[in-house]
Structure 1
Amino acid sequence: MNNNTSLIWNIVLTVAVIVLFFLHFSGSKPGTFTGSDSTSVAGRRIVYVQVDSLLKNYDYFEDTRKSLENKRYQLENDLTTRGRSLENEIAFFQQRAQTMTLDQARSTEAQLTKKQQDLIAYRDRSAQSLAQEEAEKNQELYESIQSYIKKYNRENNYEYVLGYSTGGGILFADSTLNITQKMIEGLNSEYKAKNEKSAASTKDTTKKK
């Protein structure tokens, strides 16, 4: 489960960001803007962001990845503990089965079967809940980057912000058009401010109590 969910998480995030960065700001006017981190190609102002580098250095992504990995680890340990406990009960029942009456054996077997079914249901609910949380975090990541790109573009008026990644559709990109570091710094600054505001709010609430 750990490898599969991690793989899904990485694939979904990469695809989401690649799609996100390929934005066309049709409201801008070609050829009327200046700037050192973009260029005009046939009247178009274009820059790009290295997707892999952005995800690697965006603190929100890293914090979320660690949090989800910790929850997966805790769930696996919990399921392992519950499973071993049930195995011990089954082994104990098998040892005592011959000394039980038929009704006692049937009753105990039914109880163990119910526990096994409950454990499977718990596993499925927990996995579904974790998958839902991952999907929500994917959406939050997408929205935070999308929001910042729109804010960043109000001051720069790019027509295209391309997502450049290894193995992607862009085979070459001029490094002078790379705004990855600026995006990382801006996103991390907003994320830090959000966390500080949340911490201050929590502190105030605790004081009032």
Structure 2
Amino acid sequence: MKNLSIGLNVLLLIAVIVLYILHFSGSSKSTSSQDGVATVNADAKIVYINMDTLLNKYTQSRELNEAFLKKLEANRTELNVKAKNLDREIAEFQHKAENGGFLTRERAEQAQTELLIKQQNLQKLQQEMSENAQREQMEINRKLYDAITNFLTDYNKSRGYQLILSTTLGGNVLFAQDGFNITNEVVSLLNTQYQKK
């Protein structure tokens, strides 16, 4: 009786393996474009997009990030100019203090207090600029995320994918057969849509 149970289990296991192999080794209906690059597998219900590539090639992403970087550079330049001016004023104050350039002790203390206030204001400005930059970066990311997900919602109406994943360098998709990466098609369509706006 025990041998019969083991035999049936082995037979069922073999049957499951055969069905699994037959199901997943069927011919895929992958087509190739004229330039030799494989297109999306027609049977694929799960595809992925490489977000690094998409964000580097998507015109709106590039434009938003270039404007953001220019603003960061302008802020950094403004901070550097103000910091150099403050350093110069501090050096002048020290020079005056060492050479008895202040008529009274009160005047020296007043000048020192003014410099401390300027230093605190500069630190406050730096903090505000940093917080504003973080908010702007989050807003850019939200804007791009909304644009991409809204596009993919419409895009998928005609494609019927069950799942569209995103990956980055070192992300979750470590290997995929040809035909599951829809990045180039999505980038092309996104750029076309963005140019029309």
TM-score by length of 2: 0.74
Instruction: Determine the C-alpha separation between the residues in 2 that align with 1:166 and 1:88.
Output: 46
Aligned-partner residue type, residue 82 of structure 1: K
Shift of 1:142: 0.6
1:130 aligns with 2:124: no
Aligned to 2:91: 91
Q: 1:146 aligns with which of 146, 149, 154?
A: 149
CA contact (8 A) 2:48 2:167 kept: yes
* Aligned residue identity for 1:69: L
- The equivalent of 1:81 in structure 2 is 81
* 1:84 positional shift: 0.6
Provide closer, same or farther for how the CA distance between residues 49 and 99 of structure 1 changes in structure 2, counting only shifts above 3 A. closer
CA deviations over 1:177-208 (Å, ceiling 9, x no partner) = 332121001111122122xxxxxxxxxxxxxx
Partner residue, 1:47: 47
User: Unpaired runs of 5+ in structure 2?
Assistant: 1-28, 32-39
Greater Rg by CA: 2
From 175, 187, 192, give the equivalent of 1:189. 192
Give the root-mean-square deviation of aligned CA atoms.
1.9
Q: Is the 8 A contact 1:46 1:158 kept in 2?
A: yes
Q: Describe the shift of the 1:165–1:102 C-alpha distance in structure 2 as closer, same or farther (beyond 3 A).
A: closer
Query: 1:9-88 residue pairs with structure 2 within 5 A?
Result: 37-40=40-43, 45-88=45-88
* Counterparts of 1:120 and 1:166, CA distance in 2: 36
User: How many positions carry a matched residue from both structures?
Assistant: 158
- The answer to whether the Cα contact below 8 Å between 1:39 and 1:177 also exists between their aligned partners in 2 is no
Contact 1:51 1:163 in 2 (8 A): yes
Percent identical among aligned pairs is 28
Summarize deviations over 1:126-181 as a string: whole Å, max 9, x none.
11111101000010111110000000011111112122443222232122233212
What is the CA–CA distance in structure 2 between the aligned matches of 1:165 and 1:39, rounded to whole Å?
Answer: 24
SS of the equivalent of 1:169 reads: coil
Give the equivalent residue in structure 2 for 1:156: 159
One-letter code aligned to 1:163? S
- Checking the alignment, whether the CA contact within 8 Å between 1:39 and 1:47 is kept in structure 2 is no
Residue 122 of structure 1 aligns to a residue in which SS? helix
Q: Cα 1:39–1:47, aligned 2, differ >3 Å: closer, same or farther?
A: farther
CA contact (8 A) 2:30 2:179 kept: no
Amino acid at match of 2:101: T
Alignment gaps of 5+ in structure 1: 1-33, 195-209
CA–CA separation in structure 2 for the residues paired with 1:90 and 1:166 = 47
Match of 2:121 among 104, 118, 121: 118
Amino acid at match of 2:165: L
